[in-house]
């Protein structure tokens, strides 16, 4: 399979780097999306209004993230911690993402916890938790769009 053009996702590169480092040696894939099984289930447990609660499949994930750079450009991460349970093949990543809101130039800082299940060196299930109040604060309202 040819590599995906990651240009549309450039605004998310710091996030992709956190995930790649956190899953190093555990998953295979030429890019963030290829680390996911074709039928991976991604759940957004604590999120913001109008964001999907669940998507299925790496192509759906790629589509969801394709316009991320229109709203936020990430600049880096901090406070990254990894917990791994080899018996369950589950990784928990805690991290803070930093960036800028494109429309206003306001800073964006949000804390995440991601619970990632791996099978056959691919992400098969991902549960994501974020601070919705940080999104509201960055965008200046109760609407992140």
With tokens 């109760």, the residue in question is 142
pTM: 0.92
Average pLDDT, the chain: 93
Q: CA dist 106 to 10, 48, 50, 139, 142, Å?
A: 19, 18, 21, 7, 15
The average pLDDT across 22-33 equals 95
- Sign, CA torsion 19/24/28/31: positive
- DSSP E strand boundaries for 26-130: 36-46, 54-56, 72-85, 90-101, 107-119, 122-130
Q: Give SS3 for 6.
A: coil
Please, what are the domains in the chain? Answer: 7-139 (3.10.450.50)
Dihedral of CA atoms 131, 136, 139, 140 in degrees, nearest 10, equals -150
Using one digit for the tens of pLDDT, what is the confidence trace for 63-117?
999 999 999 999 999 999 999 999 999 999 999 999 999 999 999 999 999 999 9
Short-list 137, 140, 117, 114, CA closest to 127: 114
């Amino acid at each position: 399979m040819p590599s995906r053009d990651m240009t549309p996702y450039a605004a998310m590169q710091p996030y992709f780097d956190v995930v790649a480092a956190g899953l190093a040696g555990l998953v295979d894939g030429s890019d963030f999306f290829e680390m996911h099984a074709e039928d991976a289930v991604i759940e957004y447990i604590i999120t913001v209004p109008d964001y999907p609660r669940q998507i299925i499949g790496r192509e759906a994930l790629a589509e969801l993230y394709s316009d991320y750079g229109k709203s936020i450009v990430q600049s880096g991460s901090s406070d990254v911690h990894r917990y791994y349970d080899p018996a369950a093949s589950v990784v928990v990543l805690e991290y803070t993402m930093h960036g800028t809101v494109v429309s206003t130039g306001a800073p964006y800082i949000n804390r995440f916890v991601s619970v990632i299940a791996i099978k056959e060196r691919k992400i098969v299930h991902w549960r994501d938790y974020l601070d919705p109040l940080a999104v509201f604060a960055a965008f200046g309202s109760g609407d992140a769009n």
